[in-house]
Structures are given as C-alpha cells and as structure tokens.
Amino acid sequence: MPKTEDYLALDGAINEAFQASLTPWEAFRLLQSGHERFLNHLTHRRSRGNLLADAAAGQYPYAAVLGCIDSRVPVEEVFDAAFGDMFVARVAGNTVSNDILGSLEYACKYAGAKLILVLGHTKCGAVQGAWSKLVDGHITGLLEHIAPAVEATQAERGTDPTEENLHACVAANVHHTVEEIRMRSVILAEMETDGRIAIVGGLYDVSSGQVEFVDVPQGVEV
C-alpha cells in the first residue's frame, strides 16, 4: 500500500504531485483505508495550521463523494479525511441533478479528483418517502429522482415497506445514480472509459458505521 503509506506521511494537505500520481484504483484504496481507520477508531491527525495554509494555496482532492444530507452520515469522518482530501456533494437521497453533475464534472475534469463515490445509507428518509409516495412542497420533485429505484424494487420484492425491502431500495437507488452519472454526463463517462476516473457506489450502515462498497468493477479488491 505505498500510496496509503505516502498519504499517512503527509503533515499537510494533498499536493498536486501526489494527486497526479494516483490511479483511480489507488484513490479507491485511499478511501478504503480511511474507512478502515474509522472503523478501528483510528485517526490520521495532521497539523491544522499546515492544512489551512495548504488549502489557501490550492486544492487537490483524490475523490468526490455524492452523499445524502442525513446527519448520521458524516462523510469526511467516515473516511478519516482532512481538509483538501475530497469534494463532498450532499442532497437528500444522493440523487443526480444538473447542478450535481456540473459539480462532479468540475471536481474530476478541472480539479483532478480520480474517483466518484455515490454513498447511500440505511434508514434513508428520502427513500422511505419515495417508497410511500410522499407529496409535499419541493420534496415531491426531489423524490421523483428516487422513483425508478422504488419501482424496480417493488416490482421485484413487493410493496411492503420492510427494513429488508427499503435497504434493497437504497442499494437500487445507489446503482441508479451511478448509472445516471454515466448516462447523463458525457465528460465523466469519457473520463471513466479512458481510465482517468472510476465511479463506484457505497452503502453506509447507520447502526454499525460500516460501508459496503458496491458497483465496483470485477477484479478490484473490496
């Protein structure tokens, strides 16, 4: 794990040379190793002063994470990340919009991030709302983005809102979002095809703190 060792040797933020040296799957391994530290109650502490100084000079994150707004999923903490490590976009239900796509395109094409992670989670209120066809204000339009996952899950498993069915819907929604990114963003799809970035999914368990990585290409260790 040479890149992880190099990362742990940093006393400030990731620099341009370190970011440029990463492959997408080395960036994925950084994400995994950070999560392993989180699960083992370990934290890679870096000088706050150095991080602030480096942040003022520029940013070179290794990953971009699209997560839910849920307060129980502190994205940077879950991956033991510091200033400058990752872009984080959050919206209820971790769904895709034009603004989210533009943010991810900027993160990867112009700011050099090597990995996109779509992170869903158990007990997701947005998924539960979409499952029950909640209609209320602007929430209605938001939940429409989750409808394809709900429809697919209910067609396969029925409409009973059991914990197992809702978890399956969370997973289906992550998969749908990953595919939406590829389908709707020519920039990101081409970057993934060219091997410049990777796009993967993850499911965070709010009870255990464990992330299960999904939608990871065959042959990549998870």
The pair of three-digit structure tokens given for residue 160, joined into one six-digit string: 């009973």
pLDDT higher at 1 or 218: 218
Closest CA to 83 of 60, 114, 110: 60
pLDDT at position 1, please? 57
Closest CA to 96 of 145, 153, 151, 149: 145
Give CA angle at 14 (12, 68), nearest 5°: 110
Strand-strand pairing, 86-90 and 211-214: unpaired
111: which residues sit within 8 A by CB, 6+ positions away? 59, 60, 61, 87
User: Distance (Å, rounded) from C-alpha 89 to C-alpha 119?
Assistant: 10
pLDDT tens string 69-124: 999 999 999 999 999 999 999 999 999 999 999 999 999 999 999 999 999 999 99
99 touches 114 (CB < 8 A): no
pLDDT at 222 over 90: no
Share of the chain above pLDDT 70, in %: 99
Amino acid at site 99 = D
DSSP class of 212:
E
148 touches 96 (CB < 8 A): no
Average pLDDT over the chain reads 96
**How confident is residue 65, by pLDDT bands cut at 50, 70 and 90?**
very high
Residue with tokens 């809102």: 161
Give CA angle at 17 (11, 21), nearest 5°: 110
pLDDT tens string 148-195: 999 999 999 999 999 999 999 999 999 999 999 999 999 999 999 999
Torsion sign over Cα 163, 164, 165, 168: positive
User: Distance (Å, rounded) from C-alpha 152 to C-alpha 127?
Assistant: 13
- Total Cβ atoms within 10 A of residue 13: 23
**How confident is residue 48, by pLDDT bands cut at 50, 70 and 90?**
very high
pLDDT at position 219, please? 65
User: Distance (Å, rounded) from C-alpha 142 to C-alpha 126?
Assistant: 9
User: Distance (Å, rounded) from C-alpha 57 to C-alpha 202?
Assistant: 31
pLDDT tens string 11-30: 999 999 999 999 999 999 99
Domains of the chain, earliest start first: 2-214 (3.40.1050.10)
Q: Can you count the helices (H) and strands (E) in the chain? A: 11, 5
107 touches 188 (CB < 8 A): no
Closest CA to 26 of 119, 113, 118: 113
